[in-house]
Structure 1
Amino acid sequence: MSAQTSDRLNGRIAVVTGGASGIGAQTAARLAADGAKVLRVDRKGDADLLLDVTADGANTEILDAVRHKYGKLDILVTCAGISKFLSLEETSDEVWDNNLAVNLTAVFRLVRDATSLLKESQAGRVVTIGSVMSEFAGPGLTAYTASKHGLLGLSRALATELGGYGITVNCVQPGAIETPMTAPAFNDMPEYKTFWSEKAPLGRLGQPQDIADVIAFLVSDDARFMSGHGIYVDGGAMVQP
């Protein structure tokens, strides 16, 4: 846990999808350390609410739970995501559809359905989790890259839709982060791990806490005039060719 915690989120209510592992788990812990009450949603693990964000009725269940438990919603962070390295020819329709469903469509639907609650907040915040692949591309990640490009565009559109209600929307774009989702790629392709470590001027891979701390800033009053942005958190990787 970062030492730079505070009480700046006291009284705030947050929902974090993908909240039982990786970036989502660290984000939930950091927001709680800053004083927020957090409902962690995930399809497995020790989440407060176990469900698949793409399932029929998932959003109703999430929003009913936060209404029943807390009576309001101030912060929505969408960390649920999937990724798998496959060549273009190996990328089936099912893989394509699943990437779009989890990484893009589920985010759109949840923000849409949560808007009425967020409008009631005096400090509505939405943070989506994109990727450096929201503005970059490489072989083996066609479906993932398309979904993350779409998510950045969605986040910018949401910022224009919701800004009039005082709701900010930003898209955090992590670089190479060591999480359960990325572990298979790093283990199977050590050259991939080396590439991203060397590409970053800071000379290392990121950790979930690196992302969680930025999210904690974005949902706080300190970021009240930031909206509609894609924010790289990548150790400087994207400033180098």
Structure 2
Amino acid sequence: MSARLAGRRAIVTGAASGIGAAVAARLAADGARVFTADVKGAVDFVADLTGADANQNLVAAAVAAMGGVDIVVPCAGISAFHPLEGHEDAYFQRVLDINLLAVFRLVRAAVPHLKAHGAGRIVTIGSTTSTFGDEGLCAYAASKHAVLGLTKSIAAELGPFGVTATCVQPGAIDTPMTAPAFTETPAYRDFWENKAPLRRLGRAEDIADVVAFLCSDDARFVSGHGLWVDGGAMARH
């Protein structure tokens, strides 16, 4: 790997597995110091990031450990199929708290440090459902639409300080979170493999590579929009 992120200091949440773990590994391979967080696992900061002060405490711990923060990549998230009929308020709120509110709080806490760097990077993790909907995913799609909108607003507000904000929108990615759906319903796996012109599910590393690019100086003029990383699946939506 390159050293294009040498000297950069990153916070990555959801880093114990899946996309978050792949992102943390890729940023480190590119030379960044990475401070990891998750609700469990072998990470630097263990916490439920839906807590009111959790993200403020996370940023403080990262700054204490690394001397600052230049990159923020909130990867923590949840998803499960819930039909609209009988959909519980509590589950809907839980998805919003993890997928949206925690992202907002983390970025808000990191803003002074990102401004201080002068070329800070924020990369959120949306979904193809940030643009489209899908049956059984009301809460998830709502949260990911909101993440994309949040990212665009952040980009507009922080751009004058040299900070970029982009939203990576994964398609069907084979991770520990999605694996049960693909395993229990082979037809679902076949659908997404065949929908993508590249004829496979995505891997966590496919997302991590794009995140690393967006965190680098190569993406210094890329901000304020979502980027599908889906093997071309949505081009055939």
* TM-score w.r.t. length of structure 1: 0.97
Q: Are the counterparts in 1 of residues 18 and 175 from structure 2 also a CA contact under 8 Å? A: yes
SS in 1 for 2:25: helix
Give the aligned partner of residue 158 of structure 1: 154
1:152-179 deviation digits (Å, cap 9, x = unpaired):
1111011001101000000000000000
1:64 is aligned, of 34, 57, 60, to 60
- In the aligned structure 2, how far is the partner of 1:69 from the partner of 1:105? 25
**Among candidates 73, 92, 114, match of residue 77 of structure 1:** 73
- Choose from 36, 55, 62 the match for 2:32: 36
Cα distance in structure 1, aligned partners of 2:86 and 2:198 = 34
> Where in structure 2 are the equivalents of 1:224-235 lying within 5 Å?
224-235=220-231
Give the CA deviation at 1:122: 3.0
- Unaligned residue ranges in structure 1 (runs of 5+): none
- Asked if the contact 1:91–1:143 (Cα under 8 Å) also holds between the matched residues in 2, the reply is no
Cα distance, 1:54 vs. partner? 0.5
Compared CA separation, residues 180 and 90, structure 1 to 2 (3 A): farther
Distance 1:65 1:17 in 2: 13
Match of 1:113 among 109, 118, 121: 109
**Secondary structure at the counterpart of residue 20 of structure 1:** coil
Partner of 2:88: 92
Indicate whether 1:147 and 2:143 are aligned.
Answer: yes
Partner of 1:19: helix, strand, or coil?
coil
8 Å Cα contact 1:156-1:229 kept in structure 2: yes
Counterpart CA distance in 1 for 2:144 and 2:187 is: 23
User: How far does residue 202 in structure 1 lie from its aligned partner after superposition?
Assistant: 0.1
CA-CA distance at 1:233 after TM superposition: 0.3
Q: Does structure 1 retain, via aligned residues, the 8 Å contact 2:14–2:76? A: yes
2:13 paired with 1:12: no
Extract unaligned runs of 5+ from structure 2: none
SS at match of 1:11: coil
Structure 1 residue 131 corresponds to structure 2 residue 127: yes
8 Å contact from structure 2 (residues 47, 54) kept in 1: yes
The one-letter code matched in structure 1 to 2:223 is S
TM-score, structure 2 normalization: 0.98
Report the residue type matching 1:35 in the other structure.
G
Could you tell me how far apart the structure 2 residues matched to 1:93 and 1:10 are?
A: 44
Further displaced range: 173-182 or 187-196: 187-196
CA distance in 1, matches of 2:158, 2:21: 27
Contact 2:59-2:106 within 8 A present in 1 as well: no
Q: Is residue 24 of structure 1 aligned with residue 5 of structure 2?
A: no
Q: Is the 8 A contact 2:119 2:161 kept in 1?
A: no
Which one is further off, 148-157 or 84-93? 84-93
Instruction: State how 1:156-195 maps to structure 2 within 5 Å.
Output: 156-195=152-191
Q: Which secondary structure state, in structure 1, belongs to the residue aligned with residue 40 of structure 2?
A: coil
Q: Report matched runs for 1:195-206 at 5 Å.
A: 195-206=191-202
The answer to whether the Cα contact below 8 Å between 2:56 and 2:106 also exists between their aligned partners in 1 is no
- Match for 1:116: what amino acid? P
Q: Which of 38, 45, 51 is the matching residue for 1:49?
A: 45
What is the CA-CA distance between 1:138 and the residue it aligns to?
Answer: 1.4
